[in-house]
A and B are shown apart, each in its own frame.
Chain A
Amino acid sequence: MTTDTGEVGERRLSLPAWRDIGHGAQRQGILLAFIVFLILFSLFSDRFASWDNASTVFRQVSIIGTIALGVTIVVIGGNLDLSVGSMLSFSTVMVVDLHDKIGPAPAMAITLVATLAIGCVNGILVGFLKLNSLIVTLGMLSAIQGLTLIYSGGQNVDITDQEATWFAFFGRDFVLGIAVPTWIFLGLAVVFHIVLTRTAYGRRVFAVGGNKTAAAFSGIRRARVVFSTYVISSFTVFCAALILGSRVMGSQNNVGQGYELLVLAGVILGGTSLLGGSGSVIKTVIGVLILGFIQNGLLLMGYQYYAQWLVTWVVIILAVWLDVASQRGRLFTTTA
């Protein structure tokens, strides 16, 4: 009987013990996989390899991608966040609903506070109370979905004057020929990359996720770091909600349903280990782009939606396998 009390440090989803999880190991398999997919699709569809299409895909993945950046940090810190999907619904419904009532700027301010507050609740439960993150955020997934419905009364919300509002900037405008959602997504990626690799805070996140028994970390400090990763995650959800709300100029109550697993798929494809302690936001960007380009490529090739799902199945496993294998130095495990 273990005395695992749901402590952050003890969580382990499935640990192939034979796998070396050295954080120094370079994982370039994913980049290779990405390039192979791009070449394959270009061969099959003449529309695929064009600037217009590439810019469309970047814009389309920016919502999931932005959230994935925050979730990457949570995962590096050794936890999961499954509540981001319903949090996105909540945040989008709120900002769109308040837009017409009190104006764009106050609406954004209030929504930011409310969304960060949810992040704080996650952070307190997982960080300070040390509850299991999968179950906490699963519970929050359900609870926030309910809150969203209670808030809106189940009604769709819309922005009436779509042409006049400057709120359109976040989802619809272009700066220097590149869509604002893409700027937000890639800009945050660069900032997060620098924070993770160049600052003391970044080192702490890796340390908390990787080496939980390190004596250097007292319980309080660890709790604070975990707490902060959830606040960051909720902040990225807020940014994604701005893109989504502005792009659509309206929202349904279930708009983010299922996003949690898509986001996680992107993070994992990027090679961030669910065990925590290793990962990179830049590779998450690649992971998300792989998913986006697959979906787009298959659609351009005219495949049915279920064929897209089948291919996604194969690609997710192949890409991660390639990554794991290149790290292991051999294709298959040798376990009995």
Chain B
Amino acid sequence: MKMTATFAAVSAIALMSAPALAETMTIGITQNNVGVDSYQTTYERAFVEAANADPNIDVVVLDAGGDVARQIGQIQDLIQQKVDAIIIWPTNGQAVVPAVRQADRAGIPVVITNSQIAEAGFDFIKSFSGPNNIIQGEYSAQMMCDALGGEGQIVQISGQPGYTTAIERQKGFEDELAANCPGVEIVETQPGDWNREKSQRVMENFLTKYDKIDGVYSGDDNMGVGALNAAKAAGRADETVFIGATNFAVGYEAMGRGEYWGSVYQSPVEDAKNALETAKAVASGEEVPFLNYFDTPKITQDNMSEFEKPVF
């Protein structure tokens, strides 16, 4: 071990300009809530695969189970283990800031993945890597506007209240609609908690309540398909446009059947690889762009053939 280290140090001096050392680095990651949906599970799998492919990387993979306090504990545990870089998928964008600050003080670079932390924490992180949830909401709004020709009344089924992703996708959608498509009116918003059955129930009640629903916007396709199920059961699916903010396999299939209008394509594999690459770069002291968004294009019935079916 010592030999290797010495050798690495010597070769580093010898090569001078080569930034990547032939030394193993340990990267810790604490995720939001693996298992709550397939996106996160696929992300984790892709992350571990990518890490295993690189012999110089050791990873410590932790999961906060959706609990902020547990995530802070895990960040502290990772600091304690003196890992070379920490990747955080925040359970909450604000609450992790002090723990991130603690990591920064301990000299460990932090990369935020998937959903952004509060601005107050920007000084303590090296980079953000992930999709832009606000843009995703905006894209959905634009698709909704196109689909309805700028006119109609719609309902919104949001994600679990209080979580950043849910809030941002709702905000992006609502703001864009208000700014550029005033003819489309959101008559009601209720949470579907990222749960297809819950979303189905909410939609059933919407159908009872409103005689005319031109469109349904859901925080992801999983909930969107729940709403579609309800509308089909009531025989009212044809009059309604369904749009989601993240494409799931079930949404992709429904799109193929012509029942679902469009969504936003977001690959957990890209997300995971992007995060790992960013973390590797910061751990070896490279400069990286602060906002490292990866592309999340619109996917509709028209262009879906350009995309592979999501694995989740």
Which residues on the A side are within 8 Å of B201 (C-beta)? 60
Shortest CB–CB separation between residue B46 and chain A, in angstroms?
Answer: 13
**8 Å CB interface, A16-73 against B:** 47, 50, 52-53, 56, 59-60, 63
A299-B36 contact given A247-B197, A305-B161, CB 8 Å threshold: no
* Chain B residues in 8 Å Cβ range of A254: 35-36, 195
Once A60-B204, A249-B229, A254-B36 are accepted as A-B contacts, the answer to whether A155 and B41 lie under 8 Å apart by CB is: yes
Chain A residues within 8 Å of B37, by CB? 156, 252
B312 — which chain A residues lie within 8 A by C-beta?
155-156
When chains A and B are docked, how far (Å) is the Cα of A149 from the Cα of B44? Answer: 13
Task: Convert B42-64 into 0s and 1s, putting 1 for each residue whose CB lies closer than 8 angstroms to a CB of A.
Answer: 10110000000000000000000
Q: How far is the CA of A73 from the CA of B66 in the complex (A)?
A: 33
With A255-B195, A305-B190 as contacts: A247 and B229 at CB distance below 8 Å: yes
Q: Is the CB of A248 within 8 A of B197?
A: yes
Q: Are B208 and A47 in contact (CB-based, < 8 A)?
A: yes
Say if the beta carbon of A158 comes within 8 Å of chain B: yes
- A99–B250 Cα distance when bound, in Å, is 16
Digit string of A217-261 for contact with B (CB within 8 Å is 1, else 0)? Answer: 000000000000000000000000000100111101111000000
Least CB distance from B61 to A in Å reads: 13
Contact yes or no, A299 B190, CB < 8 A: yes
By a CB distance below 8 angstroms, the chain B residues around A296 are 205
Is B11 an interface position by the 8 A CB rule?
Answer: no
CB pair B222 A302 closer than 8 Å: no
Q: In this assembly, does A103 line the interface, its C-beta being within 8 Å of a C-beta of chain B?
A: no
Within 8 Å CB of A53, what residues of B?
Answer: 208
CB distance from A47 to the nearest CB of B (A): 6
CB interface residues, B 177-213, toward A, < 8 Å: 188, 190-191, 194-197, 200-202, 204-205, 208-209
A324 to B205: give the CA distance in the assembly, Å.
33
B18 beta carbon closer than 8 Å to chain A: no
Asked if A172 is at the interface of the complex by the 8 Å CB criterion, the answer is yes
| A243-290 interface with B by 8 A CB criterion | 244, 247-250, 252-255
A153 adjacent to chain B (CB < 8 Å): yes
B12 interfacial by beta-carbon distance below 8 Å: no
Number of chain B residues close to chain A: CB under 8 A: 35
Q: Quick one: given A154-B40, A248-B197, are A47 and B35 in contact (CB under 8 Å)?
A: no
Q: CB of B99 within 8 A of chain A? A: no
Q: How many A-B residue pairs have CB under 8 A?
A: 76
Residues of B within 8 A of A47 (CB): 208-209
B36 touches A56 (CB 8 A): no
Contact with B along A173-196 (1 / 0, CB 8 A): 000000000000000000000000
Minimum C-beta distance from A81 to chain B (A): 21
Residues of chain B within 8 A of A121, CB atoms compared: none
Is B209 a contact of A252 with CB atoms below 8 Å? no
Q: Is the CB of B35 within 8 A of A56?
A: no
Q: Are A56 and B205 in contact (CB under 8 A)?
A: yes
A52–B208 CB distance below 8 A: yes
- What are 24 sample pairs from A and B whose C-beta atoms fall under 8 A apart? A52-B208, A56-B205, A56-B208, A153-B45, A154-B34, A155-B38, A155-B41, A155-B42, A156-B38, A156-B222, A158-B249, A244-B197, A247-B197, A247-B200, A248-B196, A248-B229, A250-B250, A252-B36, A252-B195, A252-B222, A253-B35, A254-B36, A299-B202, A300-B208
The residues of A with any CB-CB pair to B shorter than 8 Å are: 47, 50, 52-53, 56, 59-60, 63, 149, 153-156, 158, 160, 172, 244, 247-250, 252-255, 296, 299-300, 302, 305
Known: A156-B249, A248-B229, A305-B190. 4 other contacts (CB 8 A): A156-B37, A248-B196, A254-B195, A299-B209
